[in-house]
């Protein structure tokens, strides 16, 4: 860079600030149980009553989820400052199927891009020589393994469930992309897409410093938590109602693992729904507590966040209806498989 | 006279990027024409994969997300 560049700020205040922030976070988190006990004891209702149980659920979950989400989104923001779609594309260009699918799916989780970038990104990848199936692995993994969902699952259901979700989400993205690649559906792209030749404009090399990365993390907290907090509170409120009032036998019989049809039903209901992972997972937690099967609720959650109608409408610009149908079919099949498998594993 | 192109399908961020360029130009007292490029084929032609992207006098300077205000100011003054 030329002499116009400002003297780089010392990273020390930023790092110290981050450490202080983490210390405050830990202190707050350690007070969750005493805080909610104290808040519940102030309530003028019997803790054993339906209302008392609902309120206790709400008062404990709300601060917990918001705290954990803030941490996860911050960490994800910092991680994402190491990746860019342009670099990812260069890494994936010309990759063979198989390894390429696995790499694409993993990069799909950490590479930041906003949903309105899906089409330019798709074109940019395909026209730069990233195989179609590999591109799909990337595009499926990005929403499928959602950092908000991951953080909430970890917060509410523990690391085992979060890790299983991560592994199987990746698995679906890899397998679905691989299948789409094997089907050789390039001719089902909208014809103009294949005619595009992507330019190779080299972006200027920018040095990203640690203060920049921390700032990126804080920005994503502001943006993502700022956008989803009311979904979370609404979701926890619904979850609290279910927790306090829903009759257990009824839910267990509809969403329990004895009802085999509940997994496909959950996927079918989930596809046209467009909601936020943030609002759905607290509901999932409450349903699980009432005897719903984990595979069923996860299949529901995955189909809601990974297969959304608005995204398909956006992708329609570059994909033929047939190709979109294959995409939905392959991903839905993967989700079904995961749902059944979870119900077996977490019996 | 600088020519700035904002590459993007026209989402909220793209509009915000256009506004950033205009604000920076007013502040720096530089005359700038801002052009929005929404055609996907043209966007891909510039070689970027994430939007909004910024092209100043034919040169890609930024891709993916909102740029930093101080960078925008630097690009239009340079």
Give me the pLDDT at residue A16, please.
92
Among A56-65, A174-183, A267-276, name the one with the lowest average pLDDT.
Answer: A267-276
Mean pLDDT calculated for residue range A43-70: 88
- Which of the listed ranges A23-37, A178-192, B59-73 does the model predict with the highest average pLDDT? A23-37
Say what percent of chain A tops pLDDT 90: 24
Query: pLDDT band at residue A347, thresholds of 50, 70 and 90?
Result: low
Identify whether the C-beta of residue B42 lies closer than 8 Å to the C-beta of residue B60: no
Interface test with A, best of B43, B47, B65 (most A CBs within 10 A): B47
Q: Mean of the pLDDT values across residues A83-93?
A: 88
The pLDDT of A205-226, averaged and rounded, is 86
| A127 contacts in chain B (CB < 8 Å) | 44
Model pLDDT for residues A321-339, shown as the tens digit of each residue: 999 999 889 889 999 998 9
- Average pLDDT of span A79-100: 88
What pTM value is reported for the model? 0.83
At A287 the pLDDT is 85
Q: What is the pLDDT of residue A104?
A: 93
For residue A198, give the nearest of B12, B14, B47 by CB distance.
B47
| Inter-chain CB proximity A203 and B62 less than 8 Å | yes
List chain A residues with CB under 8 Å of B45. 196-199
pLDDT digits (tens, 9 = 90+) for B34-48: 999 988 888 888 888
**Across A169-173, A274-278, B23-27, least confident range:** A274-278
Minimal CA–CA distance to A277: which of A246, A308, A312, A242? A308
Q: How far is A241 from chain B (nearest CA, A)?
A: 36
Do the chains contact at A124 and B44, CB–CB below 8 Å?
Answer: yes
Asked if A120 lies within 8 A of B60 by C-beta distance, the reply is no
A317 and B40: CB-CB below 8 Å?
Answer: yes
Per-residue tokens: A223: 């943006």
Compute the mean pLDDT over every residue in chain A, rounded to the nearest whole number: 85
Which of B65, B35, B61 is closest to B50 using CA atoms? B65
pLDDT of A9 reads 63
Residue A200 is predicted with a pLDDT of 63
CB-count burial class (<10 Å; 0-12, 13-18, 19+) for B5: buried
Q: How many angstroms separate the CA of residue A112 from the nearest CA in chain B?
A: 8
pLDDT at A275: 64
Chain B residues with beta carbon closer than 8 angstroms to that of A317? 40
Looking at residue A2, its pLDDT comes to 41
Q: Are A188 and A320 in contact (CB under 8 A)?
A: yes
Q: What is the mean pLDDT of residues A291-303?
A: 87
Across the interface, of B50, B61, B78, the residue whose CB is closest to A86 is B50
**Burial grade of A275 (CB within 10 A; 0-12, 13-18, 19 or more):** middle
Q: Do B49 and A203 touch (CB under 8 A)?
A: no
Residue with token string 């099967």? A293
Closest-CA distance, B52 to chain A, in angstroms, reads 8
Inter-chain contact B44–A127, Cβ cutoff 8 Å? yes
pLDDT higher at A120 or A276: A120
Contact flag A201-B61 (C-beta cutoff 8 Å): no
Residue B30 Cα, gap to closest chain A Cα (Å): 17
pLDDT at residue A8, rounded to an integer:
57
- Predicted confidence band of residue A3 (pLDDT cuts 50, 70, 90): very low
Which pLDDT score is estimated for A237? 92
- Pick the closest to residue A263 from A195, A338, A190 (CA basis): A338
Q: Which residue in chain B has the smallest CA separation from A215?
A: B68
A9-27: average pLDDT: 89
Q: Which residues of A touch B70 (CB under 8 A)?
A: 6
Confirm if A177 and A185 have CB atoms less than 8 A apart: no
Cβ-nearest to A85 among B11, B12, B50: B50
Interchain proximity B50–A120, CB inside 8 Å: yes
- Which residues in chain A have Cβ-Cβ distances shorter than 8 Å to B9? 116, 119-120
Average pLDDT over residues A236-240: 91
* Cβ pair B63:A86 closer than 8 A: yes
Beta-carbon separation of B65 and A114 below 8 A: yes
Rounded to an integer, the average pLDDT of A255-284 is 80
B interface residues, A as partner, C-beta within 8 Å: 7-14, 40-41, 43-51, 59-65, 70, 74, 78
Burial class from Cβ neighbours inside 10 Å (0-12, 13-18, 19+) for residue A101 reads buried
Listed in sequence order, the DSSP H helices in chain A are 12-30, 32-42, 50-80, 85-92, 99-110, 118-127, 132-144, 147-157, 159-182, 191-195, 210-220, 226-245, 248-255, 262-270, 277-289, 294-306, 309-315, 321-345
Read off the pLDDT band of A198 (50, 70, 90): low
More confident residue, B18 or A187: B18
pLDDT score, position A336: 93
Residue A274 has pLDDT above 70, yes or no: no
| Displacement of CA A44 from its chain's centroid (Å) | 38
pLDDT tens sequence across A149-193: 888 888 888 888 889 889 999 999 999 999 999 988 888 888 778
B11 contacts in chain A (CB < 8 Å): 114, 116
Q: For residue B28, what is the enclosing H or E element?
A: helix B12-28
Arithmetic mean of pLDDT, A254-259: 75
Mutate which: A2, A107, A117, vs B, most B CBs within 10 A: A117
pLDDT tens-digit profile of A131-152? 999 999 998 898 888 888 888 8
Give me the phi and psi of B59, to 5 degrees please: -115, 130
Residue with tokens 């917990």, as numbered in its chain: A64
A117 or A103: which leads in pLDDT: A103
């Amino acid at each position: 860079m030329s002499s116009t560049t400002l003297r780089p700020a010392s990273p020390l205040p930023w790092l110290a600030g981050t450490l202080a922030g983490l210390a405050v976070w830990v202190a707050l988190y350690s007070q969750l149980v005493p805080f909610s006990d104290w808040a519940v004891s102030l309530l003028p209702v019997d803790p054993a009553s339906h209302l008392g149980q609902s309120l206790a659920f709400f008062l404990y979950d709300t601060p917990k989820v918001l705290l954990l989400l803030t941490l996860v989104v911050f960490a994800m923001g910092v991680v994402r400052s190491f990746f860019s779609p342009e670099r990812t594309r260069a890494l994936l260009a010309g990759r063979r199927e198989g390894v390429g699918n696995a790499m694409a799916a993993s990069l799909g989780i950490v590479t930041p891009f906003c949903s309105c970038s899906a089409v330019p990104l798709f074109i940019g990848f395909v026209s730069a020589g990233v195989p179609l199936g590999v591109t799909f692995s990337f595009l499926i993994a990005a929403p499928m393994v959602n950092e908000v969902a991951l953080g909430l699952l970890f917060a509410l259901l523990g690391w085992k469930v979060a890790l299983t979700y991560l592994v199987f989400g990746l698995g679906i993205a890899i397998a679905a992309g691989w299948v789409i690649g094997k089907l050789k559906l390039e001719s089902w792209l909208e014809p103009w897409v294949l005619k595009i030749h992507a330019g190779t404009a080299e972006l200027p090399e920018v040095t990203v410093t640690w203060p920049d990365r921390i700032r990126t993390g804080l920005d994503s907290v502001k943006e993502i938590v700022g956008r989803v907090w009311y979904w979370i509170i609404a979701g926890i409120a619904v979850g609290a109602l279910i927790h306090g009032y829903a009759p257990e036998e009824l839910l267990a019989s509809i969403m329990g693992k004895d009802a085999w049809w509940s997994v496909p039903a959950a996927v079918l209901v989930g596809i046209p729904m467009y909601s936020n992972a943030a609002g759905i997972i607290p509901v999932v937690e409450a349903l699980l507590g009432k005897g719903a099967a984990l595979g069923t609720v996860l299949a529901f959650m995955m189909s809601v966040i990974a297969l959304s109608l608005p995204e398909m409408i956006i992708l329609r610009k570059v994909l033929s209806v047939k190709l979109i149908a294959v995409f939905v079919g392959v991903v839905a099949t993967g989700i079904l498989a995961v749902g059944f498998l979870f119900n077996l594993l977490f019996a | 006279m600088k020519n700035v192109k904002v590459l993007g399908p026209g989402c909220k961020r793209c509009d915000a990027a256009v506004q950033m360029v205009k604000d920076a130009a007013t502040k720096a007292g530089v005359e700038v024409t801002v052009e929005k490029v929404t055609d996907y084929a043209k966007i891909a032609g510039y070689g970027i994969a994430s939007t909004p992207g910024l092209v100043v006098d034919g040169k890609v300077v930024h891709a993916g997300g909102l740029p930093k205000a101080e960078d925008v100011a630097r690009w239009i003054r340079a």
